[in-house]
Amino acid sequence: MSTPPTSPSVVLLTVAHRIETTLGAALAPLGLTVSRLGLLGHISGVPGVSFSDLARMSGISVQSVHTAVKALVAAGLVRDATARAGAASRIELTAEGARLLREAMAAVEAVDTELFGPAADPALQQLGVVVRSAFS
Amino acid 94: pLDDT: 96
CATH number for the domain spanning 125: value is: 1.10.10.10
**Residue range of the domain that includes 108:** 35-130
Is 7 part of a structural domain of the chain? Answer: no
Chain segment 68-106, per-residue pLDDT in tens: 999 999 999 999 877 566 667 789 999 999 999 999 999
Number of domains forming the structure of the chain: 1
Q: Region 114-132: what's the mean pLDDT?
A: 96
Is 63 part of a structural domain of the chain? Answer: yes
Question: Is the pTM here over 0.75, yes or no?
Answer: yes
Amino acid 84: pLDDT: 60
Number of other CB atoms surrounding residue 67 within 10 Å: 12
Is 106 part of a structural domain of the chain? Answer: yes
